[in-house]
Structure 1
Amino acid sequence: MDTDKTETKAAGRPVVKRVLMVVAMLLTAFHLLASFLWIAPSSTARQVIPGNLLSEYMIPLWGQSWSVFAPEPINGDYYFDVRAVVKTDGGGEEVTDWVRATDVELDHSTYRPFPPRSAGLGIGVASDIKGSWEDLPNDQKAIVKLDYFKGDDSVDRLTTKLKEYEDPDGAVGGYLESEHLATAYATQVAKAIWGEDVQRVQYQAARQNVVPFAQRNDDDAERPNIQPVPVGWRALVSEPHQSDEEFAKYFCASDEVRCADEQ
């Protein structure tokens, strides 16, 4: 009787091993495909992976690109500034000063041999929304500068307004996705710094190029002007999978910022 049970278990083990091996191979194949699509120049090939699955899988743990290498190395800095409207003790509201979230994030990686991958999150958000904003027609860029924070339908009203104008390249959809991500990030930054009294947020992504290579030996050379993305006030955005508490612990560990629980 015991011999039969032992033989049955032994016979079942190869099946389990084969299943696990197949699963591991499929996961490895998916990771290699996703990594190839992500680091390759943007193209329609990315549509092989449906929806936002590719970006959600690659960011923030696996994100990478070839932009650090020649012939087009990184030649500029991205900034992401956040401010908020908060409730006062007297029942009124006040506007906070701007805080450069990207400086806070980079402080987590400066002089650290093993920085967290999340230290580049703010730069990634700024780069993403700036690229999407640049693709918008001028009419839509003017709308983005306006405030949309009143009511639960503020996003719907913004979407409707943007789609009232011609969008020959279909850029509005991509921009709205980028703005949603940027607003969610700005919301977490604002709550980490100013607490739960935050009523609405405003953020500004920007890029500033380095001194051109041809002027590298010119002592009087100055960096080009900052290229901002002007966005109006927005309603708060919180995703179900986000943890404001964990983000605040990480973000506020930097010496570059004073958060609500430290003031």
Structure 2
Amino acid sequence: MDNEPTEVTPRRRSAVKRTLMVIAMAITGFHIFAGFLWIAPASTMREVIPGDLLSKYMIPLWGQSWSVFAPEPINGDYYFDVRAVIKTDSGEEITQWVRATDVELDRSTYKLFPPRSAGLGIGVASDIKGSWEELPDDQKAIVKLDYFKGDDSVDRLETKLKEYDDPENTIPAYLESEHLATAYATQVAKAIWGDDVQRVQYQAARQNVVPFAERNDKGAERPNIQPVPVGWRALVVEEHQSQEEFTKYFCASDEVRCVSEQ
């Protein structure tokens, strides 16, 4: 009897399996590369991914940075406050300010598995704060004004901003940040005050923590809040967004009382 081992011919994977493996490796490779570009210092390398595809892919699910580590750890808090003009039986009424970031953070405080969206308000505040700081003083004065009348309010704002010198070409980035902030403020306002919202105003701000050198000083106080003053804006509703789902999520917090609960 021949006891010699027989050679086993490995079975080839089917074409479907090979295709799926290639697709999975391509997705994994893109994700690793995008993550590297996102957390690395900003450079021309980001232009490898065209347009704003990188930011749309990374935010809000995959956004990250090294700012939690030394030598420059996170040393401040961001706030995003929203108020609105609502239509009433007697005319119009201005609501009180609501700190949307407190509502968002309530969804993650003491939660073992907090939703990634709990940091959305902080991200919006940080984004517009950074873009606003880059604007020249003339443009900063303009964004404090109200632009909410008519369907061309954004076009009029952009035209007015461009009437003044912008040597660093900061206006496009700011307008993009303002659009995002206004859309977020619109969702927050509609979640709290319902469909009677006519226009919104928001204020993003940052407040640094007590400086490290003063950490043991019992009388030390946090530095003043650094606000981003923005005037009243027309509502912005993005395509494919669900106001109903956002309202359920936002109003589930104990930090806010919505119209639907009153």
TM-score normalised over the length of structure 1: 0.94
Aligned-pair CA distance for 1:30: 0.9
Mapping for residues 5-154 of structure 1, pairs under 5 Å: 14-90=14-90, 92-154=91-153
Q: Distance in 2 between matches of 1:101 and 1:218?
A: 31
The answer for the alignment partner of 1:214 in structure 2 is: 213
Aligned-pair CA distance for 1:181: 0.3
Instruction: Could you list the structure 1 runs, at least 4 aligned residues long, displaced by more than 3 angstroms after superposition.
Output: none
The answer for the alignment partner of 1:4 in structure 2 is: none
Q: Distance in 2 between matches of 1:143 and 1:44?
A: 31
Q: Distance in 2 between matches of 1:253 and 1:98?
A: 19
- Between structure 1 and structure 2, the one with the greater Rg is 2
Q: Distance in 2 between matches of 1:69 and 1:106?
A: 21
Q: Distance in 2 between matches of 1:162 and 1:95?
A: 27
State the one-letter code of the partner of 1:239.
E
The DSSP-based 3-state class of the residue aligned with 1:111 is coil
Q: Distance in 1 between matches of 2:81 and 2:64?
A: 23
Aligned-pair CA distance for 1:80: 0.1
Q: Distance in 1 between matches of 2:177 and 2:190?
A: 20
Q: Deviations over 1:188-239 (max 9, x none)?
A: 0000000000000000000000000011111111100000000000000001
Q: Distance in 1 between matches of 2:94 and 2:126?
A: 26
Aligned-pair CA distance for 1:89: 2.1
Q: Distance in 2 between matches of 1:187 and 1:153?
A: 17
Say which structure is richer in helix.
1
Q: Report how many aligned residue pairs link the two structures.
A: 252
The answer for the alignment partner of 1:180 in structure 2 is: 179
The DSSP-based 3-state class of the residue aligned with 2:83 is strand
Q: Deviations over 1:111-165 (max 9, x none)?
A: 1111000000000000000000000011110110000000000001111111111
Aligned-pair CA distance for 1:44: 2.0
Aligned-pair CA distance for 1:19: 1.4
Q: Deviations over 1:13-37 (max 9, x none)?
A: 6221221111111111110111111
The answer for the alignment partner of 2:226 in structure 1 is: 227
The answer for the alignment partner of 1:251 in structure 2 is: 250
Aligned-pair CA distance for 1:75: 0.2
Query: Percent sequence identity over matched residues?
Result: 83
Q: Distance in 1 between matches of 2:47 and 2:217?
A: 45
Aligned-pair CA distance for 1:51: 1.4
Taking only aligned residues, the RMSD between alpha carbons, in angstroms, comes to 1.1
Q: Distance in 2 between matches of 1:165 and 1:222?
A: 38
TM-score normalised over the length of structure 2: 0.94
Q: Distance in 2 between matches of 1:142 and 1:102?
A: 25
Q: Distance in 2 between matches of 1:94 and 1:51?
A: 41
